[in-house]
Amino acid sequence: MITYSFLQHYWWFLISLLGGILAFLLFIQGGQSLLYSLSKTEDEKRLLVNALGRKWEFTFTTLVTFGGAFFASFPLFYSTSFGGAYWVWMAILFCFIIQAVSYEFQSKPGNVFGAGTYRAFLFINGLLATFLIGVAIATFFTGSDFIVAKGNITNQLAPVISSWGNEWHGLDALFTVRNLTLGIAVFFLSRSLALLFFVNRLNNEVLEARSRKFLWYNAIPFVVFFLIFVIWTLFSEGFAVNQATGVVTMEKYKYFTNLIEMPVVLVLFLLGVVAVLGGVIGTWITPKFKSGIWFAGVGTVVTVCSLLLLVGYNNTSYYPSTNLQSSLTIFNSSSSFFTLKAMSLVSLFIPVVLVYIFIAWRSMEKKRINIQDVNEDEHAY
């Protein structure tokens, strides 16, 4: 039987899955952040841009879908976080605006600012967007300073439901070290995934060898910062919710307890981490192994998805506030039963979407890309 609680859990699962897919697709941003260091010649740079440029829209679309799905399924998060942590979200958005035009415009004559500017835009997007998204997601574990008071709607002079508790409007997340560790981890993860993608997709021995070498410098910091964040989080206090009263309290080792109490999530988390490490280590030790991106990609999706399940399920606040009783849970912030049900029917189309993405992707990726392909393509960037 489909209950309201089931739908709330189902939609949190979809949000978590989208979050995982988004984290994987951030390899585009990671690749952009490597534009200047990985390539030494113009041809190499062009090859990297064109390899990434045929996929950038997937990351962009997933981000839009992530936002849209959050708006539809948990609108109180949308209104509280976006309206409150204004500057963090605006900074992320700026990073994505400058990315959207940069692929198309950079090689076109008359582009006013020159190819260098658009490549710099791609670099900025790669550098900042990954870090800031990581920091923003870390606040799901560490909390933010906001107040939710739905009753305020009747205050005719200040009918404000959600308010941020300080004037930093989201930039305050940068003052929490644990948030920074996830930001840095996501940044290095995106670069590591990009390098695995290049190993898999490029038909260029020099770039492939360099990508394998660069993997060391990026995967190790990723693992270090990721472990710091995970261990710190698992053994910190978490935001627990009393199911009967809805009262939020701080609970020791809450996220660790969640892992233990949700063995499926624990297994998924461990499998995800192993797959990421397997993809990376396999690429290091086996020169002919080129499929690391698929292992690490699927591993990223599963790991991030399970981390988000950890923070949303098992009576936990997924968007906690330092004003504890304002914290958001999948129960107090979701859309109505009717809306979740209607959207769940629409979500049944997701497999169809995945099938046509697979078909189109496969038809376009029959062989690996080299500089000759780029030079012969009339629409190349």
Residues 27-86 that bind other proteins (CB under 8 A): 54-55, 57-58, 60-61, 63-65, 67-69, 71-73, 75-76, 78-84, 86
Residue 245 is a binding residue for other proteins (CB under 8 A): no
* C-beta of 91 vs 224, nearer to other proteins: 91
* C-beta of 102 vs 303, nearer to other proteins: 102
Binding to other proteins (CB under 8 A) within 100-129 occurs at 100-101, 103-105, 108-113
- Within 13 A of 94's CA, how many CA atoms are on the CB side? 10
Min dist CB 201 to other proteins, Å, is 13
Which x/- pattern, by CB under 8 A, does the window 308-347 give for other proteins? ---------------------------xx-xx--xx--xx
Among positions 4, 163, 176, 256, the unique one binding other proteins when judged by CB under 8 A: 163
Q: Is 235 exposed, middle or buried (0-12, 13-18, 19+ CB in 10 A)?
A: exposed
Which x/- pattern, by CB under 8 A, does the window 346-375 give for other proteins? xx-xx--x--xx--xx-xx-x---------
- Within 13 A of 89's CA, how many CA atoms are on the CB side? 15
Give the pair of three-digit tokens for residue 193: 């995934």
**Are 144 and 319 spatial neighbours (Cβ–Cβ below 8 Å)?**
yes
Min dist CB 248 to other proteins, Å, is 18
* C-beta of 77 vs 313, nearer to other proteins: 77
- The CA distances from residue 43 to 198, 212, 368, 370, in Å, are 15, 19, 16, 10
- Residues paired with residue 164 on neighbouring β-strands, in sequence order: 146
Q: How far apart are CA 73 and CA 200, in angstroms?
A: 36
**Are 333 and 245 spatial neighbours (Cβ–Cβ below 8 Å)?**
no
DSSP 70-104: HHHH-HHHIIIIIHHSHHHHHHHHHHHHHHHHHHH
Residue 244 is a binding residue for other proteins (CB under 8 A): no
Min dist CB 288 to other proteins, Å, is 26
Min dist CB 174 to other proteins, Å, is 16
Min dist CB 92 to other proteins, Å, is 9
